[in-house]
Structure formats: structure tokens, C-alpha cells
Structure 1
Amino acid sequence: MSETTSAPVASDGAAIRGRHFRYFDFVMAAFVVILLLSNVLGAGKVAEIELPGVGYWPFGAGILFFPIGYVIGDILTEVYGYGRARRCIWAGTVALLFMAFMSWVVVALPPAPDWTGQQAYEQVFGQVPRIVFASITAFWAGEFVNSYVLAKMKLMTKGRHLWSRTIGSTVAGQAVDSLIFYPLAFWGAEGWTHALVLQVLITQWALKVSWEVLLTPVTYFVVDFLKGREGVDVFDSGTDFTPFRTRV
């Protein structure tokens, strides 16, 4: 049986409060999973590629997947509104905190005498507390700025020009993310000059925004699909934009 598609109905956040959506749980799960995996698998590895005319260019492997979390954050706000996006951001924040706590406990447990993987395990999962704190703080602030800017721009553009608000919100959100993370994590750290921190900050911000631009066609496709299946298009005209609540 094929799923029905209906023309999305413009609604404000209050009008859909308590309403069940078929795909919201899946989008929320994807948001949290990408967030956790990009921090676990991507954060600890520095990769490099050879650029024509430039030579070998190092980059953090997490840059390949972490920006997808911002794309999903855009989709959440655009389709379901700021209130539900806020709930997902808090779910992601709590998941990151638990992951950090679990990593600390598991790494600290004394290894069995015949187990030889402790050093490698510590290298992958034994993250420096300063970096963990910077990462979680930057994610929380950046995602809320991203969602807020997109919701406000949607009202300003009357729902037109989706590309302008997905890119515009990412420019703002990723700027806040980078401005918080890199100074908190590396300013004054051994091997990190002030110039290097600023260079990496600007480079990573530019790469993340570029990812958003490249993924714009995908964002359009997913947004159109979800709005059609859910039959809703949320405008946050009467929304309380405080980040300090989780109730939709």
C-alpha cells in the first residue's frame, strides 16, 4: 500500500502541539546517531588529502559527517518547527554527556592482564575533558543558533527561498560552534599557537558551510518529502524561543 501525500498545511507551533508525526522519531534518531558517531569515529582522527596545486592538506575526519547533523537540524526546524528541533537538540546534548561519562568509566576500568588493547582504547576514547566540554558546549549553542535563525528567516521570507535560510542559519550556527569550540579546546594548549587556532577555526567553518551548500539539493528533497507525507509546514509565529525547555 502506497503512502498518501497531502499538500502541507501552514501551521504555527501551538496548532500542532501534541500531534503525532509518522517520521519525526526517525529524523530525531538520525540526528542523535550522526551526532554521536561523528564525535566518536571522526573527532579523534586527522586525515589528509592531496589537493592539486596545494599539496597534502590535513583535516579532521569528523568534518565529513558532523555537518550532516546541521542539515538534519535544518530539516527538523523547517518541517516540524523550533519546538521539536529544541527537543532533539536537548536529546543530542544528553546523549553526548552520557557518551562522555561512559567513555570515562570504561577507559578508567583496569584492563585484564592478557588484554593488550588498553593503549589504543585510551587513544580513541580517552578524550581530554577540556575538549569534551568544548565540544558539547559548542554543539548546544551552535545548534540552537542554527534553529533560531532558520525559524526567524522562515517568517521573514514567508516560507520562500529555503536555500537562503538553510545556508544562512548554517553560516550563523557553525560560526558560533567554531568560535566556542576551538578557543575553548585549544587556546593556549601545547602546540597550538593563537594563529593556528584561528586558521583552523576559519578553515573548519568554511568547510562546514560548503558542505551545507553542496547538500542543498538533498535538503530540498527531504523537506519536500516530509512536508508532503506529514501534511504540515510549521511557521514559528507564536513560539517561545527560549532554549531552556523541552516541552513541545
Structure 2
Amino acid sequence: SSMFVTMLVLTNMVGTKLFILFPHYEPLSVVLTSGIVTYPFTFWLTDIVSETFGKRKADLMVVYGFVASMLMLLILQIVQALPPAEIWRIPAEYAGSFANELQIVGKDGRILGASSTAAQTAFTFTFDAPGLLLFASMLAYLAAQLTDNFMFHFWRRLTRGKHLWLRNNGSTAVSQLLDTIIVNSIFLTFYWKMPYFAPTEDQPVTVVQVIFTTYLVKLALALLDTPLIYAGIGFIKKAFGLSPTYQS
């Protein structure tokens, strides 16, 4: 549960950044959300818990993650509201990125740093969670994680406990698609004002493109983590003295 909550909290902290995968090779250059670095691990962990401890424990872990995320976001909002101390400043090596009126300049003309106002602005930009993002991420999180647990046990019943690789990838494929569509459709469309289907001069990237590329990467990661699922389940069963064998 601690690993799951850690990965989920990190996802909420880094997820607002968009980055370019393969920026120097245009045919494969795609825009992705940074949450893809951490969020796929949560599905890996829920599948391990589902297989070893059952759906009820996995669903409970999802609830723990939701509570932890809400607590983190509440604390961040409180901290952002605190008035910054005058001595809290941006270091000189980063101060050049701020407007002249926010820079602290020495008598010799060297930039010594940037003011506490600049530090507060940078902090807010980094950790501010818009209400829309919070709504989108939490809605997608609950829908996807609970769907993942449901689909995992659906495939398990269907295959009579066999083919772990099938229920792992089958459940993740459905839940990750649901998550990717929900969070990107809401956040990119209404917050970043990104066009959904047709690119424009100001916005050459569309929501559908981000959804498609993000989902493909998530799907590839899900396929690659299959050996880790077997290893993780084997480790947990051995560590907790559970049945050491399962059918693949």
C-alpha cells in the first residue's frame, strides 16, 4: 500500500507537466503527460494485490490512495497560502529566467537571485493543482483503478485462475484506456484549451493525439511489466507464506 500511495501522490505532483518523447527524432516525437512516468506502476501494484490478497484488499488500497491524494492537495493549498519570508529567494543560477523587477542585482551588476515574490510564483506554478485537474484526475483515478480490479477478477474467473499474463494485460488495457480518455479529455480541453480533433495554428497538437500516444506508451509499459507481475506475486507469496504456486 505504501508503494502504491507513493506512486499515486507523485503522479498528482508531476502530472501537470507535458513533455516531448524523442524530441530529436520527429517521426517518433510525441507529446505526453509526465504522469506516465509513475502512474503505470499503480496498476502493476493493484494487479499484484488483487492476485495475492483479493479484490477487496485491492479496492481498499485504491481508497487509501484517494484519501492520501486529497490530503496532499489540501496541504499544498494551505502551504501556498502562507506568506513567503523575505529571505526565501530564487538562487542566482535560476534568477535570470524571471522579470527584471523580480531580480536582485548587486552593485557590480551581477544577478544575485530573485525575490521572494518570484519564489512564491515558482512554487505556486509548480504545485498549484487547478480544481479542474483535481476533478479530472480523481474521477479518472477512481474509475480506472476500480475498473482494473473488476476486470482482473473477471478475467480470472473466465480463465479459471489460469493465464496470469492475460488478466494482467487485459485488465490494464481497459482501465488505462478509460483513465487516459477521462483525464486528458477534461484537463487538456478545458484547462489548456487544446483542440480535441483538429489542430490549429496556435495549438498544433490535439487532445486525441495526446490520448492516442499516451495510451500506446502505457500499453507498451503494461506488456513490458508482465515479467515483473510474476516476480512480484512470487515474492509476495513467499514473503507472506501464501501458496507458492500459481497457474500461468
In the superposition, the TM-score normalised over structure 2's length comes to 0.77
Retained in 2: the 8 A contact 1:45–1:60?
Answer: yes
Which aligned pairs between 1:69-148 and structure 2 lie closer than 5 A? Answer: 69-115=42-88, 116=116, 117-148=119-150
1:161 pairs with 2:171:
no
Higher relative contact order (CA 8 A, sep 6+): 1
What does residue 58 of structure 1 align with? 31
Match of 2:20 among 33, 48, 70: 48
Q: Secondary structure at the match of 2:184?
A: helix
Residue 227 of structure 1 and its aligned partner are, at CA, apart by 2.2
Q: 1:43 to 1:189 in 2, by over 3 A?
A: closer
Residue 190 of structure 1 and its aligned partner are, at CA, apart by 4.5
Retained in 1: the 8 A contact 2:31–2:210?
Answer: no
Q: Distance in 2 between matches of 1:163 and 1:61?
A: 27
State the identity %.
28
Q: Secondary structure at the match of 2:234?
A: helix
What does residue 226 of structure 1 align with? 236
Per-residue CA deviation, residues 185-208 of structure 1 (Å, 9 max, x unaligned), is 222445400121122112212211
Which amino acid in the other structure matches residue 54 of structure 2?
A: G
Q: 1:188 to 1:132 in 2, by over 3 A?
A: closer
Which amino acid in the other structure matches residue 198 of structure 1?
A: V
What does residue 103 of structure 2 align with? none
Per-residue CA deviation, residues 13-70 of structure 1 (Å, 9 max, x unaligned), is xxxxxxxxxxxxxxx1111111111221x31333334265616433222212210111
Q: Secondary structure at the match of 1:187?
A: helix
Residue 81 of structure 1 and its aligned partner are, at CA, apart by 0.4
Q: Distance in 1 between matches of 2:187 and 2:212?
A: 15
1:216 pairs with 2:226:
yes
Q: Which has the larger radius of gyration?
A: 2
Root-mean-square deviation (CA, aligned residues, Å) is 1.8
Residue 112 of structure 1 and its aligned partner are, at CA, apart by 1.9
Runs of 5+ unmatched residues, structure 1: 1-27, 234-248
Match of 2:41 among 60, 68, 84: 68
Q: Distance in 2 between matches of 1:181 and 1:190?
A: 12
Q: 1:114 to 1:228 in 2, by over 3 A?
A: closer
Count of aligned positions:
205
Residue 93 of structure 1 and its aligned partner are, at CA, apart by 0.3
Residue 85 of structure 1 and its aligned partner are, at CA, apart by 0.4
1:149 pairs with 2:122:
no
Which amino acid in the other structure matches residue 46 of structure 1?
A: L
Q: Distance in 2 between matches of 1:190 and 1:45?
A: 12
Per-residue CA deviation, residues 120-179 of structure 1 (Å, 9 max, x unaligned), is 101110121101111111111100000010012111111111110100000111122122
Residue 110 of structure 1 and its aligned partner are, at CA, apart by 1.8
1:200 pairs with 2:201:
no
What does residue 176 of structure 2 align with? 174
Q: Distance in 2 between matches of 1:183 and 1:59?
A: 13
Q: 1:45 to 1:169 in 2, by over 3 A?
A: same
Q: Secondary structure at the match of 2:161?
A: coil
Q: 1:203 to 1:76 in 2, by over 3 A?
A: same
Runs of 5+ unmatched residues, structure 2: 89-115, 198-205, 244-248
Q: Distance in 1 between matches of 2:231 and 2:12?
A: 27
Q: Distance in 1 between matches of 2:217 and 2:12?
A: 17
Q: 1:190 to 1:221 in 2, by over 3 A?
A: closer
